Amino acid sequence: MPILYDESVPLDNKQLRLYDKSGQFTRVSVDEAIARKLNYWKGWACSAGERMLYIDYDGRVWIANCASAKYYKKEWKKFSEKTIGPWPHEEWYNKNTLEGWPLPKDYEECDQHLAFLDQVDKLEKEFFTTKMTGKFEDVDPNEHFGYVGNMYDRLELPEYWVDCPFDFCGCGADVILSKAKDETHVKHLAISKRGYDGQHETRNMFTEEIVKQVAVEMNFPVPYQILWDIGRRCNYNCDYCWNGLHNNKDPHHEYEVINRTILHIIKNWSKGKEIRWNFGGGEPTLHPYFLDIVKLLKEHNQWILVTTNGSRDTKYWKELRKYCNTVNFSAHFGSMSKHKGHENRFIDNVNTIIDWHNNTDDDFWIEIKLMTPPGWIDYANNFKNKLNINELKLPGKNGRMKGCCSFVPIRDDNGIVSYSKEELEFFGNQ
């Protein structure tokens, strides 16, 4: 039976519940939580490990993306120092930034830092292309927080919450994990414990604003989550995409290894319960066995999200849509324009998914992110007008609106790139 509309079921992209000590909650999107700096949860109890796993590009498995990020940052520093020696600018860097992030506006004044940046691009590509080795060296879990094994020879699945060691939560997949300031506030996480029942039982606790948050959880009744960057292969080369996220050289993981990992996780981690499998990359649809992977998951009643550049042909998407619960389309205008017919293909693929909404009562959502560099707002707006956006607001066969569309500012290694005042106002007024 489709889930019909009521106030407990999210009909937009406000995925998060923020609770106060009385148990009342307000709802915000992931992007809103980050923009408003509501994602500072250091010392809080986090369900990472018990309710989330992250499988990185190289097949290593972590309790969350944050743990992987810290590992790669440390390994990258060791690797770079072998080439350029100890970072000559590090003292200045740490003094003038908030724990290395973000860079101050006057960072150009540091000659050592500028000299380092001249070497970074080439060096990063070398670093990340040497990490994919299939069966690789093991990682010391005592040295690297949150490491639980790899897909090839050792995977120790965790069943515990952790105390967050980081100043803030930066990855959207980590942000939506259930968290509580202390044990007395864990009781507010009704959805995490009771799924749809908890979601509906607490609907009357909604309020437009809370004074101080003490717990957070996703307003969605599937608490288990796998974030899986299934490969670095990508047919685009967006200049704002970090080097470690894409190339056309890394081999894909073998299907047999992926199959074994999936079945092991379902049996021994979620104990057969539904998991949200969130696939990214690179471009996940370039994996030669991606259709087989999602078919396997559906055979085991799993929930599937795919983040994609929408570049595969429409015939492929007419098959893939049968197995997806959510599709996040990211429109990369500069890259699309370099491939004949890709803009029209993107539009056709979005409409293909929208049509699916109208013909199936499965739980489904589509999100379109228009990645908009400085100077591209008019172009992005015209492109949006070619999409059947009004159709997203109408209920599909399942009784719910189909999705949402938003303009997204570009980030690079130094944070949000430079936009005019008018452009920033445009993003803020969406």
Question: 399 and 293: one domain?
Answer: yes
Which burial class, exposed, middle or buried, applies to 340 when counting CB atoms under 10 A from its CB (0-12, 13-18, 19+)?
exposed
State which residues of the chain have pLDDT below 70.
Answer: 1-13, 84-121, 125, 128-138, 412-416
Q: Give 3-state DSSP helix, strand, coil % of the chain, rounded to 5.
A: 40, 20, 45
| List of long-range contacts for 93-100, beta carbons under 8 Å, 24+ apart | 99/167
Domain-located, residue 154 = no
Of 218, 237, 252, the last residue of a domain is 218
Number of domain units in the chain: 2
Of 203, 218, 233, the last residue of a domain is 218
Question: 396 and 415: one domain?
Answer: yes
Q: How far apart are CA 404 and CA 366, in angstroms?
A: 7
Question: 242 and 315: one domain?
Answer: yes
Look up the domain containing 22 and give its range.
16-48+164-218
Question: 194 and 334: one domain?
Answer: no
pLDDT at 135: 46
pLDDT tens figures, 214-250: 999 998 888 899 999 998 899 998 888 877 778 777 7
Question: 170 and 231: one domain?
Answer: no
CATH of the domain at 355: 3.20.20.70
Q: How far apart are CA 136 and CA 153, in angstroms?
A: 10
Q: How far apart are CA 264 and CA 55, in angstroms?
A: 14
* Cβ–Cβ < 8 Å for 46, 179: yes
pLDDT at 83: 72
Question: 233 and 273: one domain?
Answer: yes
Domain-located, residue 9 = no
Question: 170 and 304: one domain?
Answer: no
Question: 183 and 234: one domain?
Answer: no
Question: 422 and 369: one domain?
Answer: yes
* The two three-digit tokens of residue 338, written as one number: 């370099």
* The two three-digit tokens of residue 361, written as one number: 């009562």
pLDDT at 320: 96
Question: 256 and 291: one domain?
Answer: yes
Domain-located, residue 392 = yes
Question: 394 and 324: one domain?
Answer: yes
Domain-located, residue 117 = no
Question: 187 and 331: one domain?
Answer: no
Of 196, 218, 240, the last residue of a domain is 218
Domain-located, residue 193 = yes
Domain-located, residue 92 = no
Cα atoms in the Cβ-side hemisphere of radius 13 Å centred on 98 = 8
Domain-located, residue 383 = yes
* Cβ–Cβ < 8 Å for 382, 337: no
pLDDT at 222: 86
pLDDT at 319: 96
pLDDT at 90: 61
Please enumerate in sequence order all residues whose Cβ is within 8 A of that of 51, keeping only pairs 6 or more positions apart, or say none.
177, 178, 192, 223, 224, 225
Domain-located, residue 156 = no
